């Protein structure tokens, strides 16, 4: 898996231990139902064009690790208000998503794997990243 900054084509590789935890929670149809004064059901619905959440979290504590140096890059990118490409690089899944960081949901959470202060840029962190998928036309 890779996160690519669209404006510069810089990329950060992400290990395969991330789980897309909300992959099947997205509902592409938005629907509102209400009743008219006589009890008739009124349904309004439409297809969402974008806005799907993508939360990548460690499948367990031994996965979803990022080196401190890469985490610092991702943290800096999250403050840029730019678009990124999230690329899956699995043999069975090579989808690409046009995304922004989802700050409303808490874009980035990180904790040292060893639960002690880090001493090197090579020390690992467990990380959860939250994105919002945009329509490719955006």
- What whole-number distance in Å separates Cα of residue 67 and Cα of residue 120? 9
In this prediction, residue 51 carries a pLDDT of 94
Q: What is the pTM of this model?
A: 0.87
Q: Are 2 and 15 in contact (CB under 8 A)?
A: no
Sign of the C-alpha dihedral computed for residues 131, 134, 136 and 138 taken in this order: negative
Is the pLDDT assigned to residue 118 strictly greater than 90?
Answer: no
Kindly list the domain boundaries of the chain, sorted by start residue. 2-133
Per residue in 42-97, pLDDT tens?
A: 999 999 989 999 999 998 888 889 999 999 999 999 999 999 999 999 888 899 99
What is the rounded distance in angstroms from the CA atom of residue 80 to the CA atom of residue 8? 12
The widest CA-to-CA distance across the chain, in whole angstroms, is: 69
pLDDT score at 137:
60
- Examine the pLDDT at 20 and tell me if it is beyond 90: yes
Give the Cα separation of 132 and 67 in Å (integer): 23
Q: What CA–CA distance (Å, rounded) separates 3 from 85? A: 6
- Rounded distance, CA 117 to CA 119, Å? 7
DSSP 62: T
């Amino acid at each position: 898996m890779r996160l690519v900054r669209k404006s510069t084509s810089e990329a950060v590789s992400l290990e395969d231990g991330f789980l897309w935890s909300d992959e099947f929670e997205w509902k592409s149809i938005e629907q509102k139902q209400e009743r008219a004064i006589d009890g008739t059901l009124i349904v309004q619905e439409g297809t969402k064009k974008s806005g799907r959440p993508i939360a990548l979290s460690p499948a367990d504590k031994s996965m979803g690790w990022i080196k401190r140096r890469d985490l610092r890059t991702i943290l800096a990118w999250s403050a840029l208000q730019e678009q990124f490409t999230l690329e899956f690089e699995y043999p069975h899944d090579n989808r690409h998503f046009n995304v922004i960081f989802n700050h409303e949901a808490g874009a980035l959470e990180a904790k040292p794997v060893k639960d002690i202060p880090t001493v090197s840029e090579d020390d690992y962190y467990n990380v959860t990243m939250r994105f919002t998928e945009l329509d490719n036309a955006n």
